[in-house]
Structure 1
Amino acid sequence: MSAEISPDLRFTRTLAAFDEANSHDPRQELDENGVAVAYEVLYARRMSQMLQRFCPQASEALQLAAHSQHIERWTLPRELYSFDRKGYLQWRSDLKLRHASRAGEIMLAQGYDSAMCERVAALLKKEKLKSDEESQALEDVICLVFLQFYFSEFSKAHDEAKLIDILQKTWRKMSEAGHQAALSLPLTDEEKTLVAKALA
């Protein structure tokens, strides 16, 4: 009988399997060192790194959820849905279900039991967001990653009123700990000004 895989090795292999799945993303982005990386591989890396800084005591389930937050996201493009609020909300809802399902498939293949898969799925689906501390922590990390790495590019496509509205909505999703972390991010002067206007 073969030896049972160690929990640490199972965790490491699962993160690698998430990355392998995301490596097929046709989009690429330059990382902080100027190296081209599959878009969702880089996003997963940023999520894990931000989680480590924001919540260094994060459970294994929360770490797995953070790394698989956008698992194979490109396979369900926004263009498949109507370009109104109803279409956007349906797309976001379907993404949560797809991410939860795909993460669970990969985790089962790496030896996790159904209970752990269900816990990660619950986090990815943002169940009990305000009452589940881990679900809220994941939401905080998502918002922090957006603000640090994606808000600048996002801001180029929208006017100030729209950006302030987005910042206010992002702020409402976050906990007080998330707010404090957001205020310490290395934002540009322009971004800091927008945040200040959003919070005024």
Structure 2
Amino acid sequence: MTSPYNKALAAIDAAHALDPKIITKPDGNEIAYELHYANKMTHYLSLRKPEASETLKLAIRAQHLSRWEVPRSEYPMTKLGYFSWRNALKKRQAEHVERICIEAGYSTNDAARVAALVRKEDLRNDAETQALEDVACLVFLDDQFEEYEKAWEDEDKTIGILRRTWAKMTEEGRQLALNIEMEERPKAVLAKALSGA
């Protein structure tokens, strides 16, 4: 008999697989980007918190649930527009995964806990929420930063983003971040950001 966890995980991944953005992995296989992202999130959770609860594992996996359905372009291209978009996504993703968890057989309390984690509630006081934040920052640094760094022309802006990312992380998250392999240019920018230069 399939467990509620496996049912929920399969439903989350089925939604990720619908992402129209397809990337090619180093081994040559193609994968929907959001499924790739979810795999990265799970990988870093296994390093950051190997004893993670099922609810945290599901919240980690659902971070970008159906994210492509609400493009950034639907909101003003301003800082306020960005935060409005991000907050709307968190709310939408939390509601979506809460439904998935209930349909998979979880209690309403457990489903609500997954949703609260996706919304990053009580970030500074909840160890699981903070672990999720660490993992999201690690995936940004590992999987997205090099691409963004090439696109951003303003080094000061890039350094500011890196410093804000670093400030969000715990010491455990930072130690894992220091082990991420990067090309020379992004590695140098990160070192500059962390040095305070």
What TM-score bracket applies, with the shorter chain setting the length?
A: over 0.9
Q: Deviations over 1:78-118 (max 9, x none)?
A: 11101111111100110100110011111111111110111
Q: Give the AA of the match of 1:88.
A: Y
The alpha carbon displacement at 1:183 in A equals 0.6
Whether 1:194 aligns to 2:189 is yes
Q: Secondary structure at the match of 1:185?
A: coil
Q: Secondary structure at the match of 1:156?
A: helix
Alpha-carbon distance in 1 for matches of 2:115, 2:9: 15
Q: Deviations over 1:139-192 (max 9, x none)?
A: 000000110111111111102222111101100111111111111111222222
Q: Secondary structure at the match of 2:23?
A: strand
Alpha-carbon distance in 1 for matches of 2:117, 2:24: 29
Once the two structures are superposed, the pairs formed by residues 56-71 of structure 1 within 5 Å of their partners are 56-71=50-65
Alpha-carbon distance in 2 for matches of 1:188, 1:133: 32
Once the two structures are superposed, the pairs formed by residues 154-193 of structure 1 within 5 Å of their partners are 154-159=148-153, 160-193=155-188
Q: Highest relative contact order (Cα 8 Å, sep 6+), 1 or 2?
A: 2
Tell me which residue corresponds to 1:95.
89
Q: Give the AA of the match of 1:154.
A: Y
Whether 1:21 aligns to 2:47 is no
Which one of 81, 103, 118 corresponds to residue 124 of structure 1?
118
The gaps in structure 1 that reach 5 residues or longer are none
The alpha carbon displacement at 1:135 in A equals 0.3
Q: Tell me the matched-pair count.
A: 194
Q: Give the AA of the match of 2:5.
A: F
**TM score, norm. by length of structure 2:** 0.95
The alpha carbon displacement at 1:45 in A equals 0.9
Q: Identity, % of aligned pairs?
A: 43
RMSD: 1.1
Which one of 40, 43, 46 corresponds to residue 40 of structure 2?
46
